[in-house]
Amino acid sequence: MKRLLFTVILISAAFFSLSAQESEGTFTAEDVKYDSGGSVDLAWNLPGLEESQTLEIYRVFNGSEGKIIQNKDLSGRFTDRNLNLKGSYSYVLRVMNEDGTVAKEIAAGPVLPVASWFSMKRAIVLAALIIIFYLITHYIRASRRGIEFTIRKIPALESVDEAIGRATEMGKPILFVPGIMDIDDVQTVAGIIILGEVASKTAAYDATLNVPVSRSMVMSTARETVKESYLKAGRPDAFNENMIHYLTDDQFGYVSGVDGIMAREKPAAIFMLGTFYAESLILAETGNSIGAIQIAGTAMPSQLPFFIAACDYTLIGEELYAASAYLSGQPHMLGALKGQDMAKLFIMTILIIGTVLTLLFPPVGAWIINVFSNIG
């Protein structure tokens, strides 16, 4: 009988104890994944809070604690950041009564915030990059093995010779505007590459080249490129480093300067290849007003309509990047271009598959969208 009573009491105590744990609520602390360390995710869920009670969360490190949260939220999430001290962090959630006494206390941790070696959120970007890299290098290797690749006619690039020839016949200068951004912009690099080809032709035809630039580093790079082109064309004597001159970094100051050059010197051919913003139409219209043949190219979608409306020929988006391969005709450049096209085909295929999956199987679509949204 005594044994039975004892057993009943024990079971009852265990039952009430469990119930008490369930009714206490939950409080967790976890290291934030795929970050540079120093962050801990906290999450809490309490069954209830009296009106006079408040919730406080403390961070505990090396025996000392500091309050980090004080509110009345029954549930919530918080990321504790900038945890720069080496070691584990613990957290304590306390439900405080009005009189300052502790009604409830839940501990979480210790958690060691660590920096990840690799951000898995971005794995898909790495995969895409590897595929694109492989495609481009594969076709470069193929071109070096002797496989020939053809490129469709790009009217803007076909007309470069015509434009330079026209300027030479008229005895007027050629104006080249490499955009308004600095050399760290790939469009500017693409523009400078085309400048090299244009300079080879102006050297050969003995035409005057004028390259006003908006950035000092672009000036230095463009000078090297043009100098090399004139050397290769056998005309080092015709090169004058003041062909490439700096105007100003200021966007509309630069536009004013270039417009002034157009109005005064009346170039017969104008090349505008690089990054442009709002000044694109001002440049193009001024060039149109002096009757020059204009070849423009940019990858800025918002400026393309202005160039198309006002210029004779326009390189649209990636045609600007293809120009170096087109003009040089070198096999490995054409191979890289072929690889770029295959990469585009790969992306188009993924887009179509993703769209079809999203339409037919919404949960799959939601998962795909989630994967790309979390790249962050």
Partner 1 sequence: MFWKRQFPILITAFVAVVMIAAYFIPKPGIADTRDNLQVWFQIVVMFTMILGLLNLLFVSWHKARKGRKEDRFYNWVTIFSLLGTIVAGFFGINSPAFDFIFNNIYTPLSATIFSLLAFYVASASFRAFRAKSIMATILLITAFIVMLGRVPLGDWISGWAQGTSLGFLYLPNITNWIMEVMNMAGQRAVLMGAALGLIATGIKIILGIERSYLGGE
Partner 2 sequence: MTFLEKLDRLDRRIIFLIIGIAVFVPLLFRVPIKVVQSPIVQDIYEGIQALPEGSTIMLSFDYDPSTLAELQPMAEAVVKHCIQKKHRMVFMGLWPQGPKLAQGIMDEMAPRYNLQYGVDYVNLGYKTGGIVVISSLGSSIADPFPTDMNGTPLRELPIFDNVKTLRDFAYVVSLSAGDPGIKHWVMIAKDRFKVPVGGGVTAVSAPAFYAYYNSGQLEGLMGGLRGAAEYETLIDTPGTASYGMNAQNWAHLMIILFIIIGNTTMLVLKRRKEKSRVR
5 vs 118, beta carbon nearer partner 1: 118
277 near partner 2 (CB under 8 A): yes
Tell me the C-alpha distance between 175 and 195, whole Å. 10
Please enumerate in sequence order all residues whose Cβ is within 8 A of that of 345, keeping only pairs 6 or more positions apart, or say none.
none
Please report how close the Cβ of residue 361 comes to partner 1 at its closest, in angstroms. Answer: 23
Is residue 364 within 8 A of residue 358, CB to CB? The reply is yes
User: Where in 81-110 is the site for partner 1 (CB under 8 A)?
Assistant: none
User: Where in 304-323 is the site for partner 1 (CB under 8 A)?
Assistant: 304, 306, 308-310, 316-318, 320-322
Name which position in 28, 53, 224, 357 contacts partner 1 (CB under 8 A).
224
107 vs 124, beta carbon nearer partner 2: 124
Of the ranges 22-30, 58-66, 332-340, 360-368, which one interacts with partner 1 (CB under 8 A)?
332-340
Which candidate, 249, 257, 259, places its Cα nearest to that of 180? Answer: 249
Which token pair is 7?
A: 């057993």
User: Where in 267-296 is the site for partner 1 (CB under 8 A)?
Assistant: 278, 281-282, 284-285, 288
Give start and end residues of each alpha helix (H) in the chain: 2-24, 123-144, 155-158, 160-170, 186-205, 216-232, 251-265, 279-289, 304-310, 318-328, 331-360, 362-373
94 vs 215, beta carbon nearer partner 1: 215
100 vs 301, beta carbon nearer partner 2: 301
240 vs 302, beta carbon nearer partner 2: 302
Name which position in 83, 108, 157, 190 contacts partner 1 (CB under 8 A).
190
289 near partner 2 (CB under 8 A): yes
Neighbours of 207 (CB within 10 A): 25
264 contact, one of partner 2, partner 1, none, CB 5-8 Å limit per kind: partner 1
Burial of 9: CB neighbours in 10 Å, binned 0-12, 13-18, 19+ = exposed
Is residue 261 within 8 A of residue 270, CB to CB? The reply is no
For residue 237, the SS3 value is: helix
77 contact, one of partner 2, partner 1, none, CB 5-8 Å limit per kind: none
Say which residue the tokens 């006002």 belong to: 310
DSSP state of 274: S
250 near partner 2 (CB under 8 A): yes
Taking the mean position of all CA atoms in its chain, how far away is CA 260?
A: 35
Name which position in 170, 189, 204, 357 contacts partner 1 (CB under 8 A).
189
Of the ranges 94-102, 161-169, 187-195, 365-373, which one interacts with partner 1 (CB under 8 A)?
187-195
User: Where in 153-182 is the site for partner 2 (CB under 8 A)?
Assistant: 181
30 near partner 1 (CB under 8 A): no
